[in-house]
Amino acid sequence: MRLSKAFLKTYKEAPKEAEVISHQLMLRASMIRQLTRGVYSYLPLGYKVLKKIENIVREEMDRAGSQEILMPVLQPASLWEESGRWFAYGSELMRMKDRNEREFALGPTHEEVVADIVRNTITSYKELPFSLYQIQTKFRDEMRPRFGLMRGREFLMKDAYSFHLTQESLDEEFLNMKNAYSRILDRMELKFRAVDADSGSIGGDASNEFMVLAENGEDDILYSDSSDYAANIEKATSIIELKESTEEKLPKELVETPNTKTIKELSEFLNIPEEKTVKAVMLKEVLEDKVNYVLALIRGDLDVNEIKLKNAANASMELEMMTEEECEKFGIVPGFAGSYEKKEGLTVVIDETVKYVRNFALGANKKDYHFINVNLEDLHYDIVADIRTARAGDISPDGKGVLKIARGMEVGHIFKLGDKYSKALNAKVLDENGKQQVIQMGCYGIGVSRLMSAVIEQKHDDFGIIWPKSIAPYIADVIIANVKDETQVNVAEKIYEALKKENIDVVLDDRNERAGFKFKDADLIGFPLKIVAGKGASSGIVEVKDRANGESFEVKVEEVVGFVK
Ligand code: ATP
Ligand code: MG
Ligand code: MG
Ligand code: MG
């Protein structure tokens, strides 16, 4: 591209309404232009970047085994009524009527549409699992559209959906997508964290958000440097020890109900040596409502692996005593696998498999649960610690380290939807035994246009944007310092043509402007390399400057292509 012919106008200042740096720089560099609140056109440079981001996302989705489709923006209200979201989605859903007064939505997300495709196509478990994705414009009538591409009312999203017979298969794909998302963000050289998150209006049971660390992000995340724990503040929990603990008798029912094991029975059953105090984890509501479940006995001198070996044979009995479903049903946290270990020397005793132990650790990430001490001799309990909404400075819920807070910008969100949509929309398959089974679904979104803002938020300086090479609109800007100097012009033209021939994205700044002006534009727009044909041109030398680290090199004209590659 010759800048003399380009649709490009740069500005020294950004308009006042642009509050964040990414928005300011995108406007100053003519990458986008607002049409109306939260609705933008992508101008040539901006569109180049968007397409490169889109391409990275596409490559990684393809690599992860998902297949690309394209679904309609226009979606009939009837489908949204089936899922219950015509009402539930509220005013963020853009609604419209056709000439016959039929109602429609402009898709903010596509669970309904994709479930409709699948229910009308797939009949047998043999056709599962698979994954579909699209890169499509989405509409959300955001209450506060702002910050440019960060929160638009019309924006570009990649959304993928996976379909499974079993939870295990869904779990596997969730992990596969998590890895794909990490690769996508790595390729864009972003600093990010995957955090536990609430599932919001999309629903489902587990979800992870991908948070790009940025001061202008709209979310707070809590994380521990000493472990993998990281969660959105809405979801984050921590352990607090209670200074004053209350001693109370264990509920009678807990001790007496025959089909539940008493703590004493449990300790015998689990072959716990004569120790006066073991620890149990129990839910407050459980105690108050007198639901008779002892959830986990935890004891200091055993570690999880040891227990696993000891009790592997008894696993089914243990599960009889307290299944995962029961935990779920009563909103119970089964235990803290190793998490409290360091502080108190505690570990979980009830354990089926290592996987189950991992669930323990995850399960513990819930609010308003208590740690209690249970005394076996006189059957009283003593609440010693709570799990509560976390704040910076709290102990991480896995017991490893102190939580720190950081500002994050949500760029991706992956969900285990389970049967939420497939059930409502009746998407079923026949299983091995010829029985109807509701399909398990996952969904995985990434904000393609928002990513553009995210990268700039992380990569800029006082002079402008610093694009990573992977998504820069052009890799190199060949600058003719003085267009009146024929040698400079010839050298620059030669390099420009040579780079183009190698399929390297390159612009030629052949505008009749001062060199200083061109450098400023180059830095503002953020080309990774400036190749300047200036005074050295007459001796066959150009200066190559790296935008990211400011390094500069004298390079022979004929060696420029090799240098850039
Ligand atoms: P937010 O919390 O920022 O409103 P969300 O949780 O509503 O986002 P999801 O439904 O999880 O968004 O959608 C998946 C991804 O789509 C988000 O992670 C984000 O990258 C992107 N996204 C969502 N809303 C917008 C928007 N208004 N403008 C640009 N990108 C968006
Ligand atoms: Mg939202
Ligand atoms: Mg969100
Ligand atoms: Mg989200």
Checking if the pLDDT of 26 tops 50, the result is yes
Nearest residue by C-alpha to atom 28 in ligand 1? 151
Residue 549 has pLDDT above 60, yes or no: yes
pLDDT in tens, 507-534: 999 999 999 999 999 999 999 999 999 9
What band does 228 get if pLDDT is binned at 50, 70 and 90? Answer: confident
What does the DSSP 8-state code read for residue 231?
E
Helix (H, G, I), strand (E, B) or coil at 207: strand
- Residue-level pLDDT at 245: 58
Mean pLDDT along residues 51-72 = 98
| Strand residues in 258-315 grouped as ranges (E) | 277-283, 296-299
pLDDT value of position 205: 72
Section 436-463 average pLDDT: 98
Alpha carbon 517 to chain centroid, angstroms: 40
pLDDT band at 189 (very low <50, low <70, confident <90, very high): very high
Could you report the per-residue pLDDT of 309-326, keeping only the tens digit for each?
Answer: 222 222 222 322 344 454
Higher pLDDT among residues 364 and 401, named by residue = 401
What is the SS3 assignment for 232-270? Answer: ECCCCEEEEECCCCCEEECCHHHHHCCCCCCHHHHHHHC
Mutate-to-test residue for ligand 1 from 37, 411, 450, 452, highest number of ligand atoms within 8 A of CB: 450
Torsion 309-314-315-321 (CA) sign = negative
Ligand 1 close to Cβ of residue 445 (< 6 A): yes
Residue 124 has pLDDT above 80, yes or no: yes
State the closest ligand 1 atom to the C-alpha of 451, by its place in the atom list counted from 1: 20
Tell how far the Cα of 134 is from the centroid of ligand 4, in angstroms. 17
Q: Which helix H or strand E contains 162, and what residues bound it? A: strand 154-164
Confidence of residue 338 (pLDDT cuts 50, 70, 90): very low
Give the model's pLDDT for residue 380.
56
Q: Indicate whether residue 202 lines ligand 1 (CB < 6 A).
A: yes
Residue 216 pLDDT exceeds 80: yes
Residues with CB under 5 A from ligand 4 (ion): 413
Is 450 near ligand 1, meaning CB less than 6 Å away? yes
How big is the chain by its Cα radius of gyration, in Å? Answer: 29
Q: Is the distance from the beta carbon of residue 204 to the nearest atom of ligand 1 less than 6 Å?
A: no
pLDDT digits (tens, 9 = 90+) for 237-276: 776 666 565 566 655 544 443 333 444 554 555 454 434 3
Greatest CA separation for the chain: 99
Q: Is the CB of 217 under 6 A from ligand 1?
A: no
Q: Tell me the pairing of strands 440-447 and 403-418.
A: antiparallel
* Of residues 162 and 326, more confidently modeled: 162
CA distances from 199 to 417, 418, 500 (A): 9, 12, 46
Residue 286 pLDDT > 50: no
Confirm or reject: Cβ of 159 under 6 Å from ligand 1: no
Eight-class DSSP state of 92: G
ipTM value, please give it.
0.99
Give the chain's mean pLDDT.
Answer: 81
Q: Is the pLDDT of residue 92 over 80?
A: yes
Regarding predicted confidence, which is higher, 499 or 350?
499
Share above pLDDT 70 across residues of the chain, in percent, rounded to a whole number = 73
Q: How far apart are CA 170 and CA 416, in angstroms?
A: 7
Higher pLDDT, 120 or 334: 120
- Res. 138: pLDDT tops 80: yes
What separation in Å is there between the alpha carbon of 389 and the centre of ligand 1? Answer: 24
Q: What is the mean pLDDT of residues 421-450?
A: 97
pLDDT at 388 over 90: no
Write out the E strands in 16-78: 32-36, 39-42, 67-68, 74-76
DSSP run (H or E) holding 61: helix 44-63
Q: Is the dihedral of CA 454, 460, 463, 469 positive or negative?
A: negative
Ligand 1 pocket check for 151: Cβ under 6 Å? yes
The closest-lying atom of ligand 1 relative to the alpha carbon of residue 140 is 27
Q: What is the pLDDT of residue 249?
A: 61
Which residues hold their Cβ within 5 A of ligand 3, which is an ion?
410
2-11 pLDDT, tens digit per residue, is 999 999 999 9
What pLDDT was estimated at residue 351? 31
Residue 331 has pLDDT above 80, yes or no: no
Tokens of 522: 């180059």
Report residue 389: phi and psi, to 5°.
-55, 130
